[in-house]
Structure formats: structure tokens, C-alpha cells
């Protein structure tokens, strides 16, 4: 797992990336850790839920659904690699898109919003709750329900 440790000020809203004020509290944060990884590392998600979320994120990235830039930074394709499986790059992208859409549909319309925000966009739960106008601390429960459905879709159990 990648680590990028940064000293942050600890506020009532959570860690803020700035130097702590004199007499203030500070905390070291791994800013390279995903919100899903953070929840799993602290026991808030089961292994199956974490794996389902990682698989959904991988399909999101393989399908190239994130906004693009003008330059393509695709890795060089090597014949016979384990990820090749005889499909062209376009076919792999389409297959990943179909899996992503299927997993989102399996989660359901009310649950796919939190999945996308936390798993794919990398938003923290408090930010996702605020953006969706949900009550505080409701996101974790809804995310767990959504990840259970996605785990069933991917047959992870």
C-alpha cells in the first residue's frame, strides 16, 4: 500500500492539511490512502465489502469513466500479459463498463450515489453525506448496504 504521510491540524471537522496552531492538536494522515481503505483498516468494512469496492473502482478506472485529459497516459501493451486475455483495449474497456453498470444497477438507484462518490471519486464519507444532503453518520450504513449488493454482483463471499 502506498504511503504519503502528512502532519495535519485536527479540527472538529476532522484533519485539515495545514500546520497545527500553537497549542492545537495535530495528527499524521496518510493522504494516499483511499476512503475505502481507511474504513476497512479501521474495521468498518468487511473483507468482502472492501474487495467489492476495490473491484468496482478497478472497473471504473478500466472503463475510463473518469474525466479525461488531452494526453493519454495508457501503459504500453505487452503481448501475452496476464491482463490481456485475448481482448483488445477497446473490448476490455467495454467489458469493464458493462461490469460497472451491472454493479451499479445491482446496488440500486439510492445506493449507487454513495458508491460512486466514495469508491470511484474518492470522497470521504462526511463530504459525500454533505453533497447528498444526508444526515451525519448515515453514509457508512448506506455504503455498507451498497457494498454488500456489489459483493453479491461480483460473487465475492
Please give the pLDDT value at position 44.
92
**Interacting residues of 155 by C-beta distance below 8 A, sequence separation 6+:** none
Q: What is the pLDDT of residues 28-49, one digit of tens each?
A: 766 667 888 888 888 999 999 9
Write down the pLDDT at residue 139.
92
Q: At what angle do helices 47-62 and 139-154 cross, to 10 degrees?
A: 70
Cell of 107: 446496488
More confident residue, 93 or 83: 93
Q: Which of 53, 69, 61, 73 is nearest to 150 (CA)?
A: 53
For residue 82, pLDDT over 60 is answered with: no
126 has a pLDDT exceeding 70? yes
| pLDDT reported for residue 24 | 73
Q: How many angstroms separate the most distant Cα atoms in the chain?
A: 60
pTM of structure: 0.73
Q: Is the pLDDT of residue 16 over 70?
A: no
Can you tell me the mean pLDDT for 36-64?
Answer: 91
Pair 36, 51: CB distance under 8 Å:
no
Identify the pLDDT of residue 74: 60
Confidence of residue 66 (pLDDT cuts 50, 70, 90): confident
* Residue-wise pLDDT tens digits, 128-154: 999 999 998 899 999 999 999 999 999
CB 146 within 8 A of CB 112: yes
Kindly indicate the confidence band of residue 94, based on its pLDDT and cuts at 50, 70 and 90.
Answer: very high
For the chain, the domains span: 1-33, 34-66+84-157
Q: Which residues does residue 14 pair with via DSSP β-bridges, in sequence order?
A: 11
Q: Which residues of 85-114 are buried (b: 16+ CB within 10 A; e: fewer)?
A: eeeeeeeeeeebbebbeebbebbeeebbbb
Amino acid at each position: 500500500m502506498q504511503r504519503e504521510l502528512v502532519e495535519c491540524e485536527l479540527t472538529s471537522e476532522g484533519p485539515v492539511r495545514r500546520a497545527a496552531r500553537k497549542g492545537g492538536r495535530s495528527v499524521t494522515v496518510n493522504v494516499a490512502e483511499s476512503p475505502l481503505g481507511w474504513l476497512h483498516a479501521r474495521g468498518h468494512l468487511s473483507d468482502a465489502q472492501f474487495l467489492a469496492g476495490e473491484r468496482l473502482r478497478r472497473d471504473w478506472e478500466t472503463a475510463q469513466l473518469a474525466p479525461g485529459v488531452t494526453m493519454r497516459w495508457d501503459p504500453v501493451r505487452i503481448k501475452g500479459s496476464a491482463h490481456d486475455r485475448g481482448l483488445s483495449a477497446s473490448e476490455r474497456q467495454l467489458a469493464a463498463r458493462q461490469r460497472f453498470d451491472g454493479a451499479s444497477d445491482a446496488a440500486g438507484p439510492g445506493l449507487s450515489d454513495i458508491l460512486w462518490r466514495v469508491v470511484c471519486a474518492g470522497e470521504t464519507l462526511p463530504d459525500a453525506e454533505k453533497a447528498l444532503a444526508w444526515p451525519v453518520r448515515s453514509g457508512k450504513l448506506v455504503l455498507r448496504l451498497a457494498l454488500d449488493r456489489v459483493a453479491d454482483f461480483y460473487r465475492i463471499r
